[in-house]
Structure 1
Amino acid sequence: MRLATSNMFDASIANLQRRQQKLQETQGQLTSGKRIAQASDDPTGAARAERALVSIGRVDANQRALEASRNSMILSESALGDASELMQQMREAMMAAGNASYSDSERAGLANKIAGLRDQLLTIANRSDGAGGFLFGGQGSGTPPFLDQNGGVTFTGVGGSIQTGNMDNFALTIDGDQAWQQARSGNGSFVTGPNGNTAGASTPPKGWIDSGRVTNPGLLTGNNYNIVISGTAPAQTIAVTNTDTGAAVPLDGNPTGTFTPGKGISFDGMAMTISGKPVDGDQFSIKPSSNDLKVFDVLDKAVAELRAPLRGQAEISQSNSNRIRDLDAVMSNLQNVRSQVGERMNNLDGTETRMAALKQYNKSEQSAAEDLDMTQGISDFQNQQTGYDTALKTYAMVQRMTLFQYINV
């Protein structure tokens, strides 16, 4: 087989070009630290790296949503903490208002104090989130969600909360309607209160009833009751009627219905105490609790009652007892919401840890798919450089293998 000199030259040049190209590719990999510059370098590895990169982008988006939710929850928790402090101050004022030695003007002064604290509380309920929204705006409100009107404070927002919309659905707002307007009335199971006198509904009783307590949840009926005191002390009796069924209700351990002020009475899984000096015909009602107790309604009622002049001690005691009971209920509801916010913050911390681990895993996957093994890369570069030098020397020797070289000699 006869080989022309030109073929040897072409083969040597082609070999040099291949080696030079490979050397340049390896040098580029060493410079970038990546073994895949384009998908054609390693289609499988490129696809693997792309999947990891997409997952990292998704985690980054979730982390941004998490931070937005965390900032909102921190502000909401702080607002609820401020609200609890104000509510505690109002409760202390109501406790002081029960002092029998206080005059009407002194109670009116306490009413003014509560009214001022109430206005501060309204500002907290309408607190902005710093981004054009409101912490307690629910599912969104372009204006402050609580509107103070002549008839009281109303919630103008939309119940619920705004979610980030990602897979984890982080909350960005608090349901203001639930937090400020859906406390459980009474003691949580039933509501006690005065019901006038049989001589006239506008005649206040001379005694007062406490908020009561549950003795046996299994016996609760959820019905309405009416309690009537009959006779003159010390020979008074008490009768309880289930107004839903019209039936008389027997008292536990008291078949004769003997009544003594300050002594507990119990029936149908409930117990309560009527104190003071009730007179013949005094009535008290018991109603099932409901989730409609509103913070600002309670405060407005407390202010109005404290400003009312010429009230008797029984009326004052009943009023203060009911308002303190209601304050405790709305405070408990706000505390429950605050606990929910705290739990959300704990969940955010746990989710953030999980996201960080997922992001680290995907970065490792991306690195394993496209990063260059630097030790191997340097070794390959040195080998290719040696091969390229050898190819150059070989080409130089091939150049001298011509007839003209021999003629010149």
Structure 2
Amino acid sequence: MRISTAYSFDSSIDNLQKRQTEMSQSQMQLTSGKKVNVASDDPIAAARAERALASISREDANQRSLDASRNVMQLSESAIGDAVSLLQTARESMIAAGNGSYSDKERQALALKLKDIRAQMLTIANRSDGSNGFVFGGQGSATPPFLDTTTGVQFVGQGGQVQAAAGETLNLTVDGDQTWLKAKTGNGVYKTNPVSTNTGAGWITAGSVTSPSALPYPADPSITPPQYAVNFTVNAGMTTYSVTKDGGGTTLTDVPYVSGKAIVIDGMSFAVSGQPADTDSFTIDQATNDLSVFDALDSAINSLTTSNLGSGQVMQAVNQGLSNLDSILSNVSAARSAVGESLNRMDSIEGRITASKLAAETERSNAEDLDMVSAISKFQNQQTGYEAALKSYAMVQKLSLFQYING
């Protein structure tokens, strides 16, 4: 079999080109640090890497949502902490207002302090989240969600919470309506109030629960909650009281009145102190969850700025103000706990995001990253082979007729 000179030339050139292409590809891999630079290098590995990159992008988006949510929750936790401090100060002022030696001027000075606290509370409720939104904006609001009107502070936003578009539940706002305007009235189960026509010096406490199983509250939603009334009678210098239910049957009749002694009925215990006048009355109703922090402060301010109040009226205002502030503090503290729980949960979420992203990074690396030690060794072998091919081609060039004649 004869091998022509032309075939030898073509074969040598093809070998050189092939080795040069292999070296060029190896050089590109060494430069980029990847064994898959285009899909044609390894279609299966390229697909694996693409899926991993998509997963990494999703986790990056989840991380951004988490960071945004954490920022809002930290702002809200700080805001609620400021509010708790202010409410504690307001509570101290209400306790001071109960001092029997205080004059109207001194109580009015405390009212001015409460007005300043109210203004600060409104600023806190309208706190910005730093990105053209509001921390307590509910489901979003382009304007401050709380508006101070002639009838009190109104929530003009939308109740609820905005959530980030992520695989986890991440809140971007706090429900301001629930936080600031939805505390329980009274002691959280029932509320006690004096009748506005009372003329005596008696006042009623917020009360407590003695037997939860005997309570008429909370009543079934299908029925109207029962209402109790404590009615006082003064006859020949002797004060007695009777307790009626729903204006009908009398559950207690002509009980001798002792100031501060507990009245226990249907699992409830409360006390009337001071000296009620004849026909004075106090009511007991089911508590509702519509107590606003601003209405509570407005009520306390109004009481402290009213002149010539009797001792009983002062004590009633103080007791009711303290009861309202305690309920509001409980509601605000619950909101703060919920925010704290969200922040704790975010630590776990961040751990899951980090783990998922690491797994995707590992998968991408396995699919496309280059083993540098192996690649360098391979390149050196290719370089040696290319040099050998060049020498072989140089030898083939000497096989031409002209070289033979000249030789």
* Coarse TM-score class (shorter-chain normalised): over 0.9
Partner of 2:136: 136
Shift of 1:161: 1.8
Find the aligned partners of 2:261 and 2:209 in 1 and give their Cα distance: 16
For residues 113-262 of structure 1, the aligned pairs below 5 Å read 113-195=113-195, 202-222=197-217, 223-232=226-235, 236-243=239-246, 246-249=248-251, 257-262=255-260
Find the aligned partners of 1:60 and 1:274 in 2 and give their Cα distance: 62
Shift of 1:406: 3.4
- Closer, same or farther in 2 for the Cα pair 1:190/1:100, shift >3 Å? same
Q: Is the 8 A contact 2:242 2:254 kept in 1?
A: no
Q: CA RMSD in A?
A: 1.8
The one-character-per-residue Cα deviations of 1:232-251 (angstroms, maximum 9, x if unpaired) are: 5985443222117x33335x
Partner of 1:41: 41
Q: Is the 8 A contact 1:30 1:374 kept in 2?
A: yes
Find the aligned partners of 2:161 and 2:213 in 1 and give their Cα distance: 35
Find the aligned partners of 2:370 and 2:149 in 1 and give their Cα distance: 70
Shift of 1:404: 3.8
Partner of 1:93: 93
Q: Is the 8 A contact 2:199 2:276 kept in 1?
A: no
Partner of 2:50: 50
Shift of 1:111: 0.9
State the SS of the aligned residue for 2:195. strand
Partner of 1:328: 326
Q: Is the 8 A contact 1:94 1:324 kept in 2?
A: yes
Q: Which amino acid aligns with 2:343?
A: M
Shift of 1:258: 4.2
- Count of matched residue pairs: 399
Partner of 1:408: 406
Shift of 1:390: 1.4
Query: Do structure 1's residue 375 and structure 2's residue 370 form an aligned pair?
Result: no
State the SS of the aligned residue for 1:159. coil
- Closer, same or farther in 2 for the Cα pair 1:44/1:204, shift >3 Å? farther
The one-character-per-residue Cα deviations of 1:375-394 (angstroms, maximum 9, x if unpaired) are: 11011111111111111122
Shift of 1:407: 3.0
Find the aligned partners of 2:198 and 2:282 in 1 and give their Cα distance: 12
Find the aligned partners of 1:73 and 1:367 in 2 and give their Cα distance: 36
Shift of 1:187: 0.6
Query: Do structure 1's residue 103 and structure 2's residue 103 form an aligned pair?
Result: yes
State the SS of the aligned residue for 1:186. coil
Find the aligned partners of 2:236 and 2:159 in 1 and give their Cα distance: 52
Partner of 1:199: none
Partner of 1:29: 29
Find the aligned partners of 1:330 and 1:204 in 2 and give their Cα distance: 29
2:286 equivalent among 285, 288, 297: 288
* Structure 1: unaligned runs, 5 residues or longer: 197-201
Moved over 6 A (4+): none
Partner of 2:394: 396
- Closer, same or farther in 2 for the Cα pair 1:211/1:162, shift >3 Å? same
State the SS of the aligned residue for 1:319. helix
* Structure 2: unaligned runs, 5 residues or longer: 218-225
Q: Is the 8 A contact 1:234 1:260 kept in 2?
A: no
The one-character-per-residue Cα deviations of 1:73-129 (angstroms, maximum 9, x if unpaired) are: 111111111111111111111110001111111111111111122112211111222
The one-character-per-residue Cα deviations of 1:115-149 (angstroms, maximum 9, x if unpaired) are: 12211221111122222222111112222111112
Q: Is the 8 A contact 1:226 1:285 kept in 2?
A: yes
- Closer, same or farther in 2 for the Cα pair 1:233/1:372, shift >3 Å? farther
Q: Is the 8 A contact 1:72 1:135 kept in 2?
A: yes
Find the aligned partners of 1:204 and 1:228 in 2 and give their Cα distance: 13
For residues 247-326 of structure 1, the aligned pairs below 5 Å read 247-249=249-251, 257-326=255-324
Find the aligned partners of 2:236 and 2:49 in 1 and give their Cα distance: 90
Q: Which sits farther off after the overlay, 205-214 or 13-22?
A: 205-214
State the SS of the aligned residue for 1:95. helix
Find the aligned partners of 1:330 and 1:233 in 2 and give their Cα distance: 43
State the SS of the aligned residue for 2:153. strand
Q: Which sits farther off after the overlay, 67-76 or 373-382?
A: 67-76
Q: Which amino acid aligns with 2:215?
A: L
State the SS of the aligned residue for 1:281. coil
Q: Which amino acid aligns with 1:45?
A: A
Shift of 1:154: 1.0
Partner of 1:342: 340
**Aligned-residue identity in percent:** 51
